[in-house]
Amino acid sequence: MIAQHYKDMLGAKSVIREISEWSTARGKEIGYENVFDYSLGNPSVACPAQFTQTCLHLLERTDPVALHGYTPTLTLPEVRAKVAESLNRRFGMDYTADHIFMASGAAGALAHAVRCVAVPGQNIVTFAPFFPEYKPYVEGAGLTLRVAPPRVEDFQINFDALDALVDENTAAVLINSPNNPSGVAYSAETLTRLAAYLTAAGEKFGHHIFLISDEPYREIAFGGLEVPYPAKFYPDTLTCYSFSKSLSVPGERIGYLAVNPKAEDAAYIVPMCGQISRGTGHNCPSGLFQRAVAECIDLTSDLSVYETNMELIYAELKRLGFTVNKPDGTFYIFPKALEEEMKKLASALDKPAQRKQVKLEELQKEEKQSVHPTEKAKTQQVQKAPKKEAEPKQITPKAPGMQK
């Protein structure tokens, strides 16, 4: 008998995947370069030429038996050391190789993180809006995902909503900054308050509450913003990172989990990841790509196109009258949906006698923020990034004071 649980999941189609499939099909009709496909979070810029060169170099000059062999259960020590050094240099942390575990992207890191700190029956709290895959990541580990509504004016943490959801069964709080899809990065003030809250809640419930910080968009920050590093604020933090977006290599499935050395039982967590990998089958990510990202640890693709696009789309949404926060980073933007306007239109159209009089323009007058729902955003100038590999960008710590 096949597993009913996964069979049931087949009914819950992902809207993102549906749009992606539609875009691919449309691309076959009119050329994919003519389709603005905003579905999957695939980078639109090429990886740095140096990344390709590094891979070629590794393929040409490394003993193939060693290069393509299994990597250790806890992943390659020299790679883990390079990740630790980079994080220490950039964020003033004190990681060693023992605190780093290479994983299959942020998804793999999250799969390990939730299993490290929670047991079936416990819950993990996150904040809306959130990356929809958090549900399968968390539920797949036998846990419940609780979702706190956001503080809509700025999408920082709504602490009252958080407090209403945290209880004795809460194992961790899961954050994502800069956020998919709001584009908002948590400020130092928010993270300071979150750390105080989690410390107090941990004392109240008699166990540490971990912070799982999902950071695949850490490097995509706008206006020179230095995105605050959550582990700097709270000791019990597991940082989940992916090179998918920073180096534009999502297909290579490479990232890491970093355990704050000050976390409870920090010394056990990476060895535990080795055990978790055995059970989940997420073990030993590609040796080639572990080595390649270590060689390019402080590089990114040319990510500037995302800021250019954000400025264009943001300005146009504002011009059209949308309520929208200006993203701090990522390649997402999150305007307020025209729900109220649509409800009014739908109810008006339900009454045939009124149909003729109902003009959407009249509804617009009532609501200052309204725009014609079918008016097409003029985003034609939005850049499609060049296909060829871009010049790499060096990650350099930014001036203090740029922190949000």
Ligand X SMILES: Cc1ncc(COP(=O)(O)O)c(C=O)c1O
Number of H helices, E strands in the chain: 15, 9
Map the footprint of ligand X across residues 206-245, applying CB under 6 A. Answer: 214, 216, 242, 244
Least Cβ distance, residue 215 to ligand X (angstroms): 8
The angle formed by the CA atoms of residues 174, 104 and 307, to the nearest 5 degrees, is 65
> 287-295 and 77-91 helices cross at what angle (nearest 10)?
30
- Please pick, from the candidates 122, 156, 176, 370, the single residue that binds ligand X as defined by CB under 6 A: 176
Distance CA 168, CA 245 (A): 36
Question: In this chain, which residue has its C-beta nearest to ligand X?
Answer: 105
Whole-angstrom CA distances from 311 to 133, 155, 204, 308, 317 are 27, 19, 44, 5, 10
Among the residue ranges 105-113, 161-169, 197-205, 359-367, the one whose residues contact ligand X (CB under 6 A): 105-113
Nearer to ligand X, 150 or 216 (CB): 216
- Please pick, from the candidates 93, 107, 313, 390, the single residue that binds ligand X as defined by CB under 6 A: 107
Per-residue 3-state assignment (H helix, E strand, C coil) for 69-120? CCCCCCCCHHHHHHHHHHHHHHHCCCCCHHHEEEECHHHHHHHHHHHHHCCC
Residue 47: alpha-carbon gap to chain centroid: 18
Among the residue ranges 100-108, 116-124, 266-274, 333-341, the one whose residues contact ligand X (CB under 6 A): 100-108
Query: For ligand X, what does the binding mask look like between residues 261 and 300, x meaning CB under 6 A?
Result: ----------------------------------------
The label of the residue with tokens 């190789």 reads: 97
187: tokens are: 């400020």
Among the residue ranges 62-70, 72-80, 99-107, 378-386, the one whose residues contact ligand X (CB under 6 A): 99-107
Residue 106 near ligand X by CB under 6 A: yes
Nearer to ligand X, 180 or 237 (CB): 180
Nearer to ligand X, 41 or 261 (CB): 41
Map the footprint of ligand X across residues 28-67, applying CB under 6 A. Answer: 41
Nearer to ligand X, 176 or 237 (CB): 176
Map the footprint of ligand X across residues 119-148, applying CB under 6 A. Answer: 131
Least Cβ distance, residue 220 to ligand X (angstroms): 11
Size of the site for ligand X (CB under 6 A): 13
| End-to-end C-alpha distance for the chain, whole angstroms | 53
Nearer to ligand X, 41 or 136 (CB): 41
Three-state SS for 369? coil
Whole-angstrom CA distances from 394 to 16, 216, 219, 296 are 32, 17, 11, 9
- Please pick, from the candidates 105, 178, 183, 285, the single residue that binds ligand X as defined by CB under 6 A: 105
Least Cβ distance, residue 389 to ligand X (angstroms): 19
- Please pick, from the candidates 71, 180, 187, 301, the single residue that binds ligand X as defined by CB under 6 A: 180
Maximum C-alpha span of the chain: 79
DSSP β-bridge partners for residue 148: 127
Q: Which residues bind ligand X (CB under 6 A)?
A: 41, 105-107, 131, 176, 180, 214, 216, 242, 244, 250, 255
